[in-house]
A and B are shown apart, each in its own frame.
Chain A
Amino acid sequence: MEILLAVLLGGFFGFALDRVGANNPNNIINMLKLTDLRLMRIILGAIGVSSILMFGALSLGLMDVGHLSIKEAYTGVFVGGLILGVGFALSGYCPGTGLTAFAVGRKDALFFLLGGFVGAGLYMWSFQSIKDSFLFEKILGGKVSLGVIENSGYEAVFQGMNGNLIGIVLGLVFILLAWKLPAKLRG
């Protein structure tokens, strides 16, 4: 049953990535150059819509709070984000869209994926020597959400604030940003 869900949900996600143009490195690079914000608007809007509906479902008890999975915040999240950002900008691919771009026939995506397997391997090899370094110092408690999400088991950055409400309000902010962003910020 779980494998069937993986096929359906994964297949749907891949389908969606192709349809919104995220497989196309031109769209990613033009987004990062700020010369075509179409994809940026779709991504911001999608975070907003899914956030509002997810926290809405949580508030109404329609969703199992155990499905949430908040990742840990530590220094390496920021440093890793910087490193990823450089490769993301040079190639126009992220791990997910590298896979789906290869699937739709982009040949350079194959080389991106081969590099990806090497990069993941380098990380596996280096983990032993960096695991006790500053890179893994937790930030504000680590696995934290912004507001308090009841029964989630996660701590909150803003104690005493309703996590569902924060999720819905931020969702609206993301949608507003997506709506108000111009077609491009640079020429």
Chain B
Amino acid sequence: MSIVKGTLLLASAFLLAVLIVKPIGVSTQFVIFDGIVMDSVNPDYVTESTKNKTGYESQNAYLNKSGGKYAKSVANPINYSFVFVVAMMVGAFISSKLRAKDSTEDKAVPTVWREKFGGCKVKRYTVAFLAGILVLYGARLAGGCTSGHMMSGMMQTALSGYIFAAGAFLAALPVAIFTFKKKGK
């Protein structure tokens, strides 16, 4: 896909979302998923409440904040933001089935990783797991991720979007350059 077409496609996704409903965001739903799991193990984790304005409360301070808005989403998983994120996966899957497959690409160890660290799956999976911890911890501390802060935020000229992008790239550029530096250079 050409750069211009790709730009217009991605722009349409962000634009339609804000025109029709609200800006796109993803990382909150990892918390909602965790909350759903916790609540299924311990039914008292999220309960109905008369104290909170949303009508739900949680033992967890984070789910309980802002009037229990995350607690409410945990109690009602069929809500806009959660379904949106599940639908993203379906959309990507459909797209991948409709396009030509990249048969040369290994689905376990990406080429750029393999060139530097070899084909060991365990090594790649371990780093991907640890990176996942950092990415979601960081996203929640920041209150958003690449979609919510960087794209939706900068689209709306939100100061927070610029601050997030500065932090993310300030760390990501040197880490990527150093980690994946070609041997002998």
Contact = CB atoms under 8 A, between A and B. Distances in A.
Interface of B: 1, 3-4, 6-24, 26-27, 30-31, 33-35, 37, 60-63, 65, 78, 80-81, 83-96, 99, 105, 107-113, 121, 124-161, 163-173, 175-177, 179-180
A121 B91 CA distance: 27
A9 to B, nearest CB: 5
Contacts of B13: 9, 12-13, 16
Q: Which residue, B8, B30, B78, B161, has most C-beta atoms of chain A within 10 A?
A: B30
6 contacts: A14-B93, A25-B113, A32-B173, A54-B15, A88-B172, A149-B157
A23 B158 contact: no
A88 B154 contact: no
A71 to B, nearest CB: 4
Size category of the binding interface on chain A: 35 or more
A83 B141 contact: yes
A61 interface: no
Q: Which 6 A-B pairs have the closest CB atoms?
A: A115-B132, A81-B167, A80-B142, A14-B91, A85-B171, A10-B87
Given A24-B110, A90-B127, 13 more contacts: A13-B91, A14-B88, A46-B8, A47-B151, A67-B18, A87-B135, A89-B179, A98-B135, A105-B96, A107-B107, A109-B128, A119-B134, A124-B63
